[in-house]
Structure 1
């Protein structure tokens, strides 16, 4: 029984070691809850509102996931927050035709620039429902502010998830560019190898 237990421990140790080696070899490291590429171990953050709450939420995510926030530079990847907005859509009405329930949509637009790889634009949306009680105007205002803050937090987490997928996105772009170059090269070779018209 003791030998079986030792064998199980050994196998478990080997599996963990292999997983660690595989993770290290593909250029990823565990940072917080996401697998973030080495390309963004250092990242600059710029925003349409340098002192806004959204930027603070993203900075907090940087700290949580071990990303060094550095000043903008041509050699450093950049996350640029372009804009944020909140829109609402009526979901239900009171008997007097006043809106009773809204769906709030918080939208963030941002760019990720990685030197020598390119730029990608993204849009993140977060939806929440909100009850409009006309008898509690002050409480309603406070509740809405809290909901919007929660949506900012979720949007910041979604931005981090997108960063985790960044390497795969740029790898696909590089593969598409390489394939296009190879196709262009093949077309040129075909044109050059076509026989010319013989002169009598």
Structure 2
């Protein structure tokens, strides 16, 4: 009976199109990418390189042999207070990560600068100040991972768009 229940759940999940997050299948124009950014050592660039490599993309140090050049025009991550207690102390924060990126391909396709912002909220625990900082760092890192994934997906989507230049 248990086996049948597991089988039914697996079939239902597969039928709805669910699949584990993994490598994104990318167009051939993204097979060899050169990354450009003002800060090549930023967390976002690190996450972007990892995301591209997981998808089978070769990251090139020079753009001459690249099939695409992905440029990080702007990359900002910070937090802001969302709510305060009756004593005027922060209770809830919003982390945000904004990236502006552009892309050109060897075939002449140009993706104009595109802005994306992702946010996450978290609550401040007055009893655990050290834990709050660790939580914020963990969430900021996860947010950078999500931004990198979104940039790669947006670039791939632009290349797959019908009637693109």
Query: TM-score under structure 2 normalisation?
Result: 0.76
- Number of residue pairs matched by the alignment: 142
Other-structure match for 2:94 = 103
Aligned partner of 2:146 among 143, 146, 154: 154
Structure 2, unaligned stretches of length 5 or more?
1-21
Report what 1:56 is aligned to. Answer: 46
Deviation per CA, 1:135-188, whole angstroms, max 9, x where unpaired? 32222111111110010011111112112212234x5342xxxxxxxxxxxxxx
What is the Cα deviation at residue 117 of structure 1?
2.1
Q: Is the 8 A contact 2:36 2:70 kept in 1?
A: yes
Q: Secondary structure at the match of 2:62?
A: coil
Which runs of 5 or more residues in structure 1 are unaligned? 1-31, 175-200
More displaced stretch, 39-48 vs 118-127? 118-127
Whole-angstrom CA distance in 1 between matches of 2:46 and 2:95: 21
> Are the equivalent residues in 2 in contact too, given 1:107–1:125 (CA < 8 A)?
yes
> Which one of 48, 67, 78 corresponds to residue 57 of structure 2?
67
* 1:108-145 deviations in Å (ceiling 9; x for gaps): 11111113222421222211112222332222111111
Cα distance in 2 for partners of 1:139, 1:60 equals 27
Query: By how many angstroms is 1:75 displaced?
Result: 5.6
**Residue 96 of structure 2 contacts residue 117 of structure 2 at CA under 8 Å; is this kept in 1?**
yes
Conservation of the 8 A alpha-carbon contact between 2:33 and 2:70: yes
Structure 1 residue 35 corresponds to structure 2 residue 25: yes
RMSD over aligned CA atoms reads 2.0
Within a 5 Å distance, the mapping from 1:1-200 to structure 2 comes to 33-74=23-64, 76=66, 77-115=68-106, 116-169=108-161, 172-174=163-165
Structure number with the bigger relative contact order (C-alpha 8 A, sep ≥ 6) is 2
- Larger CA Rg, structure 1 vs 2: 1
C-alpha distance in structure 2 between counterparts of 1:117 and 1:154, whole Å: 25
Tell whether the 8 Å contact from 1:89 to 1:104 is kept in structure 2 after alignment: yes
